[in-house]
Structures are given as structure tokens and as C-alpha cells.
Amino acid sequence: MHILATDFDGTLSRWHGVEQIDLDAIARFRAAGNLFGVVTGRAGDMYDMLVRDNIPFDFVIVMNGAMSIDTDGNTVFEETADGACIRGITELLGKEEYNNFLSCVIHKTRKTFHHGYPDGDEKENYLPLSEIDGIPRFTQLNTWVRKDEIATRATAEINEKYGEYVNALQNGSCIDIPPRGIDKGVGVARYADQMGVPHENVWCAGDNMNDMAMIVRFHGCAVSNARAEIKEAAEATYDGIHAIIDHILEVQAAE
């Protein structure tokens, strides 16, 4: 048995959504007795979207490895972080250089704050900063900034100041902030161990920097539109998920 864990945005879903050629390949992969799943920075509503769009899967790992959901929508595991850092990260992101919100996901509930709006803003769905003190723990924080290079600086600053709580990961101009020690590689490893699949039979596909941890930990595959850093770290670059699956099935047939 092999596992293929793929990022969603920019990897499985690219210019025109999920292509039929990839859906057909996923069906072949699963029919051969393998496990296919999505590993994303998105929150738990990723499960609902996959079901709605009839995308087949055996598992979903969301929030960069912090939470896993099975095919029936049940939470398999969830890691959380101490909420003591939320106010400080909100203040950091309120600096003129970044000037943006901090979204906080607790299980499947999202609360959003902006340091520039201490009393909240109903139009922007910002809550009063006073509500931060009522959040003891969270599953992931998220934000975005204007440019990738600004996101690089913000990611580094968050990790420097709050690394005892979180592991900020850059995803283009977005920043995903799961608990300390959590990344996509950790989430995939935990799932593989639960399923009894050896790590040498685990394949991962991605395109952006928050995919790096799983790309270097397992058989890493980059898609053709991936960042240069991901292509350099991957074992090979493929035209899409269908090409990766074709390769894995060839490997499996030769075993």
C-alpha cells in the first residue's frame, strides 16, 4: 500500500480547478489499494468542499497538519496551541509594514481580529480585541500581506518572537500559523503511522513553501507550476497529479 498526500491550491486544483484526468488517476490509485488525501493550509471546511465537488479521498489533513478528518467527517486528531500569543501576533501584524488582520481558527470556528480596530468592525467581521482574552487555545492562525517578500519578513518575525507557541509557514503572500512543531510533514507522518504504512511508501505533492516539510520528509513531488525552491527540493517535477500517480503505480507494479 502507498499513500499520496497532495496540497490542494496550486497542486491538485490549478488553473481550471481539479482536472478530470486527475480525478480518473485518483480513482485508479485507490482501486489499486492505495490511500489518497489532501493536505492543506485551509481549515476544516476543506472536507465539505471535497465532498461537495465529488473529489474522492481517504483522508484530509487541514491547517498544515494540525487536524485530520476521515471520510465520514470525523476529527481523527487535532493539535492546539496556547492562546497567550494571539494578542501579540495581532499587534505585530498591525504594524504599518503589514497592516492586516489575524484570523484564529478554534476547531472549526473562525474569529478574526485587527489591531487597528480595537472595538471591532462589523463590516469587516473583525471582533473586539477584548475577545482575544477568552480564547485559551487555537488550532491555527492565518493572515496575508501585500507581497510575497513582505510575507517572508512577517513569517520570520512571528517565528522569532512567538516560536515557543507557533510555527509560522509562508504560502505565497499568505501566512499560515499552526502550533509549534506542526507542519504538513508531521501531519502526514502521523496519518501514515496510524494506517501502518511505512514512510518509504509515502508520496507527497506540492507547489509552495508550506509544502516543503512534507516534500523533504517523504517522496517529494513538485508540480510544473511550483516555486523553484520546491522543485529543487523534490525528487522530480511532474505535469500534474495524474503523472505522479502513473509513476507511483509503475513503482508499485515493480515491487
Q: Are residues 97 and 157 in the same domain?
A: yes
Q: Determine what percent of the chain is predicted with pLDDT higher than 90.
A: 93
Looking at the structure of the chain, the number of domains it has is 2
Q: Are residues 223 and 154 in the same domain?
A: no
CATH number at residue 149: 3.30.1240.10
Q: Determine what percent of the chain is predicted with pLDDT higher than 70.
A: 100
Q: Are residues 8 and 124 in the same domain?
A: no
Question: Looking at residue 255, what is its pLDDT?
Answer: 87
- Looking at 143, 177, 211, the residue that finishes a domain is 177
- Tens of pLDDT, residue by residue over 1-58, are 999 999 999 999 988 899 999 999 999 999 999 999 999 999 989 999 999 999 999 9
The interaxial angle of helices 20-31 and 241-254, nearest 10 deg, is 20
- Tens of pLDDT, residue by residue over 64-77, are 999 999 999 999 99
- Looking at 135, 160, 177, the residue that finishes a domain is 177
Question: Looking at residue 16, what is its pLDDT?
Answer: 83
Q: Mean pLDDT across the chain, nearest whole number?
A: 95
Q: Are residues 94 and 128 in the same domain?
A: yes
Question: Looking at residue 171, what is its pLDDT?
Answer: 86
Question: Looking at residue 157, what is its pLDDT?
Answer: 96
CATH number at residue 205: 3.40.50.1000
Q: Are residues 170 and 201 in the same domain?
A: no
Q: Are residues 139 and 115 in the same domain?
A: yes
Give one word for 84, left, alpha or beta, with left for phi > 0 and alpha for psi -120 to 50.
Answer: alpha
Question: Looking at residue 105, what is its pLDDT?
Answer: 95
- Tens of pLDDT, residue by residue over 89-122, are 999 999 989 999 999 999 889 999 999 999 999 9
Which structural domain, as residue segments, surrounds residue 126?
81-177
Q: Rounded to whole angstroms, how far apart are CA atoms 241 and 229?
A: 19
- Looking at 177, 207, 231, the residue that finishes a domain is 177
Residue type, 22: D
Closest CA to 57 of 10, 12, 11, 9: 12
